[in-house]
Structures are given as C-alpha cells and as structure tokens.
Structure 1
Amino acid sequence: MRRGSSPLLRKPPDGGWGWMVVAACFVLMVCTRAVTRCLSIFFVDFQEHFAQSHANTAWINSITDCNTMLFCVGFALCYSPALVMIDRYFGRRRALAMGIGLSGSGVGTFMLAPIIQFMIVKFSWRGALLILGAFTSNLCICGALMRPIHFKNFAPPEDNEEKLEKTAGNESSLWRRAFILVSQSVSCWLGETHTLVRCPLFAAYLLSLLLLASGCGIPFVYLVPYAQSHGISFQHASLLLSLTGIMSIVGNVTYGWLVDCSFFRRRRWWCYVFAITLEGICSLCLPFAQHVPPLALLAGLYGYFDGAYVTLLAIIATDLVPAHLTPTAIGLTYGIHGLPYLLGPPLSGWMVDQTDSYTTSFLFSGSAILASAMLFAVATLVVSNPGPGGEAKASGQEGELISSGLSGNGAFPRPIGEATVPGMNCEGGRL
C-alpha cells in the first residue's frame, strides 16, 4: 500500500486496529515459535527411529529454529515483520503490546506439548507432524490482519520504494525490472545494515545476542530427554515443557507491563540484563536437579525469564536506532539471534555424546547466557552517556521529537515514547 492511500498519522495510535495486529502476532507465535519449541518432544522418537546420535538429531531443532528467525523462507517471512507491525502501532504501550503478542509462544507451548504427546501416542510421530503442518496454515489469516500504517513526522531523505519503482519503471523487460528491484533493495538493506553496525552500543548488543542465542535454546531442546534419562515418564517430562510455556506467558506480560511503567521505561536495558542473568543461573542449576519438583521449579523460572527477555529484544533494538531504520534493526536483531540456533544444540548434543551426560551442555548454556549479560552490561556502562539518575535526557511534551540518531544527514527524529536512547548516536558520537 502506498503512503498516499492511507492517512498519515503524527504518532502511533497505541490501540485501535493495533490490538488486532497484536492478536494476529499472538496466533502467529503459537504457529511458529511454539511449534518449533515443541519439536523437542519428538527428540527421542527421531533418535530411535533414525538411530542417530544426540548431535545429529539436534540438527532438526537447530535448522527449524534458525530458519524461523534467520533465513528468508518459511516462518522467517512472518516472524520479524509481525514484530515490526506492533512497533509501528504502539508507542508508550509498545512493550506491553509486544509482550502480549510474544506470549503466544508460551501459550502455544503450554497447550501444544500435551496435545503433541497425545498425538504421538495416537497417530505416531509422522501423523503428529502432518497435523502440526495443517495447524500452521492459520498463518495466512494472521497475515491478512497486518494493515499498513504510515506517519508524517519522520521519513527517510527519499522514499526508497518510490525510488526503486521509478528506476525499474524505465525498463521494458519484466525480468530486468525484477532484477533491478531486487538488487537495489539488497543494496539499500546492506547500506542500512552497515550504518547500524557502526553504532557501538548496537554492535555490542548484536554480539551479546550471539552469545545469548548460543545457550538459550539448549534447555528447550534437551529438557524432555534429560528428564526421561532420570526415569521421569514421558508424560511428566512433556508437562515440564508445558510449564516453561505457561511461565513464559507470565514473563512476557508482566515484563512488558513493568518496562512500560515510568520508572522502568528508561531503565529497561538493565531489566533486560537482569532477566538474562537469572535465566543463565537457572540453566547452570538444571544438571543438579534430577527429580520432578526441582526440575519443575527451574523449568518454570527459566521459562519466565526467557519470556521476559524475549519481550525486550525488539524494544531495545528500536531504542538504539532512528525510526525509519526500525524494520532493518529488528530484522537484524532476530537474524543474529537466530544464527547460533543452527550450531548451539548440535554442539551441546556432541557434548552429550562425548560425556554421556547432559551436565556439560547445561553448563555451556548457562555460561554463554551469563557472558551475554556481562557483555551488554559493560558496553552500556562504557558507551552510553546517561543523564542524572541514570535516565536518558529527553525534553518536550508528548508528540515532540527527540533525536535518536545518525549523523551525516543530521539526527533523524523519533516521537517521544517510541525510543529512549541514552544520549548517543549510531556513529558513536554524543548527541
């Protein structure tokens, strides 16, 4: 839809059709992240049927998870765009809206885990996968609810879409026009990405995500087989995964509400560090729990803090960049976050094969998560320039513009309430 065909808004509506977008994102998370998380329930069946090691079997979960957030096929085509749409519709209540949308992952995990366990018993693992494939077709409905929205208080120097269409429109060949559109779109994306990674704090954020994603997916993959290895029944082991799902919902919503409060809004980077620190500690403690009660406690806490930090991923990314670069920043954030999913579970599976124990895998997971928290905390202290009381400096009434930006063409504006950046731009300079 072209910008001229819909009214231009001065600031995000913080409601209205935005709640339909949140509902669509909620269902989308059930059909994507919840389904990929529940693949760990198939782990033992896959391993026994194909007679493969833990490392080789873990590639199934790794490729699926990585594809969801990184490669431009399958679930990746709807995951990041849904979060960008929530960011467009919400300003001051953005974290709460993001938390509600992302809680679909926890709700889906809670609901699907026992259902999948029943379907495996009733229809075998092949039948269960066929039913899950049909279930994910609901993504088509979610896509239909994503209505575009545009603003008049900020814009890039030139509308890239119109520029590309103008250039391609001079070509008569359909294939040549398509090639020009694709090549120039890729060139534009590479230019924006290069600009973003030159921001010291955003670059540190991406590096911390690499460490975080290297460890955070491991407990979801190995929790069920770990519990079964200690004599816990398949039904109870599946319920542990459901527990992580329900606590993830609580983490999504409560953390989303918390960081929208005035006191925490400008301190949400530290809320993020706190969440992943405790998540890492929970992972370190998992190999010392061998019975249902302690496993249930740690699984619940792990799920809560996992849901809490996931709510803030896109929020922090948009805090660090100008408004018109938000889609690129969110896509880059989830792309970097998804990359380690390809190698993390197989590497931990190799550790299990070598040591015949899950202890090393969980210790690796917790150490990687804690290293991520430490890296981002140190980068925030070193690079940022907070105002009095640790708060970012901002002035003006609601709807006025603050600079979050990039030098070069000057600082690009973003409406108050959409970003709270501690006084630095993406060239590493001070505002």
Structure 2
Amino acid sequence: MLLASLDLSLPWLYFTMGILQGIGISFSWIPANSMVSHYFVRWRPIAYAIASSGECVFAILFSPFFQWLIETYTWQGALLIIGGLQLNVCVCGALMRPLEATQCSIQDTKTSLKGDSAVLAPKRKAAFQCSLLRKPELILYIMFAILSAAGFFIPPLFLVPFANSLGMDRYWPASILSVLALADLVGRLTCGWVANMRLLRNLQLLTMVATLLGVVLLLLPISHNYWVILVFASLHGFLFGCVVAIHINSIVDIVSLEGFDSGLGIFMLFRSIGGFIGPPAAGEQSVFRLSG
C-alpha cells in the first residue's frame, strides 16, 4: 500500500498491490492460521472463528472510512494511510510465541517433576509433505477450493459498482459492504460455535453452507433495489463467514494435524488460482453484457 501510493499506473499497481501485497499476506496469514490450529484442539473451530473475526470488525468501518479518505486525501493519500495501518501486522507477528518452544518447555517441566533424567528436544518436522497430494480427499478439497474461490470473492468487488449503476448515492453502496462484513462476523462466530458442538463433521457442515452460499450468489444479480441487495448481501456475508470459520479446520480432518502445515500451504496455493481467475472473468462478463 505504501509503495502503491507513489504511483497509480496500472503496471505499478499490479506489482505493489498485487504481487508484493499478496506475498505479504501469504507470509502473515498462513502462519497465523497454522499457529491457531496447533494451539487449540477441542476449541479449534471457535478459536479460529474468533481469531479471524478481526478482519470483519475492520471491514465494517472500512468501506465508509476508505470512501472518506479518498475524498479527503485522494487515492495516493488513502493508500498511504491504509498502508501505515497494515504495518501493525509486523507488531502482531512479533508478539506471537513460537509453539514448539512452548511445547518443549511444558514437556521439560513434566519431566523434571517426574524425576526423569531424559533430555527432551522438540521433534523435527518434514520441510514439506508433497506426498499429501496422493490423498484423493485432499485433491477433491483442492478442487472445491478453486471453484469456490472463483465465485465467493466476487460480491465484495462488484457490489459497490453494481449499486452505483442503479443510481444509488455513493455512501449507500459503501454501507452495503459494512453490512456484509457485519453478517460475515456473525456467521464466523455462529458457525464456529456450531462446529464446536460436534453435531456434524466439519466437512458435512461446510458442504451445507457452501451450497447455500452458491444459491445466494445465483440470486444476487436479480436484485435491483437497495434493500433487496442489502438482504442478499447479508445472506452472502453470513454464509461466507460460516465457510471461513470451518474451511481451514476441515484440512485437519483430511490430512491430520501432523500434515496440516503442508496441507494448508498446498490448499492456499491452489485456491489462489480460483481467486486469480474468478474476478477478472466476472468483470469480463459484465463488460460483455453492458456492451451487448
């Protein structure tokens, strides 16, 4: 964001907000999710839901706030301010406590209490378990990730332009994203709590909410009124939050906790393909319909 504020030319934006920001997110988002999954066992779904809810809280205020920043400080100033806020991720990362050191310390304490003279050392993990790609369940889950990412991220990108095309005032469309983020927060906490009740397996629950989310995506384009768009945006946000709350935890069910880190990396690598293809394809389709 900070570098993007220096120039708004398209190639520069591709490099800064695309490549550099994408690398930064992958280096922060994936380790954070991995640590949460290793820290918690019984309460893993609700712990992940709570840990990921921070982005929803910020997004609730972000849309009107960013619109105000653009009008007050122009695009360059707005990106500069948002980039400064994102630098706080470095502070959060510095405060994270290494999990293996914590486990080793606990084990050493237990050993000393028992009077055992054995010296415990943290077990080494394989650098990357490519053999996980031999699991048919993981391949099917990766296919789900690619297809879902191709469609699930489209509404936040196109809802505001779609509402603007209906002649709505500029702040009303921005409020739609805030409502979507609020519903997303409720969905994450609700689905995390339901997953912790162990009434259904994570994959079964994920199948149900992902199917409902697909139906909402099909109905969203027929909305031509602010309140109807708001209803569908709320449903999308809630169901999307449900998917987010359990789709990472479902990887543990497929590859076990031992292979989770590698499985998460593989999952995110292929899911990015869907996120890369979906929005441009949706934009091309929108241009085609308008020109037609």
Q: Residue 260 of structure 1 corresponds to which residue in structure 2?
A: 196
Q: Residue 223 of structure 1 corresponds to which residue in structure 2?
A: 159
Contiguous gaps of at least 5 residues in structure 2:
2-7, 108-122
Q: Which amino acid aligns with 1:146?
A: M
List per-residue Cα deviations over 1:106-149 (Å, max 9, x = no partner): 21211111110111111112211110011101011110121112
Percent of counterpart pairs with the same letter? 28
Q: Specify the SS of the correspondent of 1:249.
A: helix
What is the alpha-carbon distance in structure 1 between the residues aligned to residue 15 and residue 140 of structure 2? 24
Q: Residue 86 of structure 2 corresponds to which residue in structure 1?
A: 136
Alpha-carbon offset, residue 334 of structure 1 = 1.9
The answer as to 2:287 corresponding to 1:322 is: no
User: Normalising to structure 2: TM-score of the pair?
Assistant: 0.84
List per-residue Cα deviations over 1:381-424 (Å, max 9, x = no partner): xxxxxxxxxxxxxxxxxxxxxxxxxxxxxxxxxxxxxxxxxxxx
Q: Residue 229 of structure 2 corresponds to which residue in structure 1?
A: 295
Q: Per the alignment, do residues 337 and 319 of structure 1 end up closer, same or farther by CA in structure 2, a change over 3 Å counting?
A: same
List per-residue Cα deviations over 1:131-177 (Å, max 9, x = no partner): 00111010111101211123579xxxx7258xxxxxxxxxxxxxxxx
1:95 and 1:256 in contact (8 A); partners too: yes
The answer as to 2:49 corresponding to 1:99 is: yes
Alpha-carbon offset, residue 280 of structure 1 = 1.1
Q: Specify the SS of the correspondent of 1:347.
A: helix
Q: Which amino acid aligns with 1:241?
A: L
Q: Specify the SS of the correspondent of 1:97.
A: helix
Alpha-carbon offset, residue 65 of structure 1 = 7.1
What is the alpha-carbon distance in structure 2 between the residues aligned to residue 119 and residue 106 of structure 1? 19
Q: Per the alignment, do residues 67 and 200 of structure 1 end up closer, same or farther by CA in structure 2, a change over 3 Å counting?
A: farther
How many residues align? The count is: 268
| Counterparts of residues 49-68 of structure 1 (less than 5 Å) | 64=17
| Counterparts of residues 353-372 of structure 1 (less than 5 Å) | 353-356=287-290
2:146 and 2:275 in contact (8 A); partners too: no
What is the alpha-carbon distance in structure 2 between the residues aligned to residue 64 and residue 319 of structure 1? 34
Alpha-carbon offset, residue 268 of structure 1 = 2.0
Q: Residue 159 of structure 1 corresponds to which residue in structure 2?
A: 124
List per-residue Cα deviations over 1:254-289 (Å, max 9, x = no partner): 10011000323xx22111011111111111111111
Contiguous gaps of at least 5 residues in structure 1:
1-31, 33-48, 51-55, 162-187, 361-431
What is the alpha-carbon distance in structure 1 between the residues aligned to residue 164 and residue 226 of structure 2? 11
**Cα RMSD for the two superposed structures:** 2.8
| Counterparts of residues 203-352 of structure 1 (less than 5 Å) | 203-264=139-200, 267-352=201-286
List per-residue Cα deviations over 1:41-72 (Å, max 9, x = no partner): xxxxxxxx97xxxxx99x9699957876xx6x
| Counterparts of residues 6-155 of structure 1 (less than 5 Å) | 64=17, 73-150=23-100, 151=103
Alpha-carbon offset, residue 332 of structure 1 = 1.6
List per-residue Cα deviations over 1:196-233 (Å, max 9, x = no partner): 11111111000111111111111111110000001111
Q: Residue 110 of structure 2 corresponds to which residue in structure 1?
A: none
What is the alpha-carbon distance in structure 2 between the residues aligned to residue 308 and residue 131 of structure 1? 31
Which protein has the bigger helix share?
2
Q: Residue 26 of structure 1 corresponds to which residue in structure 2?
A: none
| Counterparts of residues 150-189 of structure 1 (less than 5 Å) | 150=100, 151=103, 159-160=124-125, 188-189=127-128
Q: Per the alignment, do residues 66 and 83 of structure 1 end up closer, same or farther by CA in structure 2, a change over 3 Å counting?
A: farther
Alpha-carbon offset, residue 239 of structure 1 = 0.3
What is the alpha-carbon distance in structure 1 between the residues aligned to residue 42 and residue 13 of structure 2? 39
Q: Per the alignment, do residues 115 and 66 of structure 1 end up closer, same or farther by CA in structure 2, a change over 3 Å counting?
A: same
What is the alpha-carbon distance in structure 2 between the residues aligned to residue 344 and residue 124 of structure 1? 29
Alpha-carbon offset, residue 325 of structure 1 = 1.5
User: Normalising to structure 1: TM-score of the pair?
Assistant: 0.58
223-232 vs 267-276, which moves further: 267-276
1:279 and 1:305 in contact (8 A); partners too: yes
1:217 and 1:345 in contact (8 A); partners too: yes
2:38 and 2:257 in contact (8 A); partners too: no
1:95 and 1:257 in contact (8 A); partners too: yes
Alpha-carbon offset, residue 105 of structure 1 = 2.1
Q: Per the alignment, do residues 136 and 315 of structure 1 end up closer, same or farther by CA in structure 2, a change over 3 Å counting?
A: same
2:164 and 2:170 in contact (8 A); partners too: yes
Alpha-carbon offset, residue 339 of structure 1 = 2.1
1:107 and 1:245 in contact (8 A); partners too: yes
List per-residue Cα deviations over 1:333-391 (Å, max 9, x = no partner): 2222222212211111111111118xx9xxxxxxxxxxxxxxxxxxxxxxxxxxxxxxx
What is the alpha-carbon distance in structure 2 between the residues aligned to residue 62 and residue 291 of structure 1? 37
What is the alpha-carbon distance in structure 1 between the residues aligned to residue 16 and residue 147 of structure 2? 18
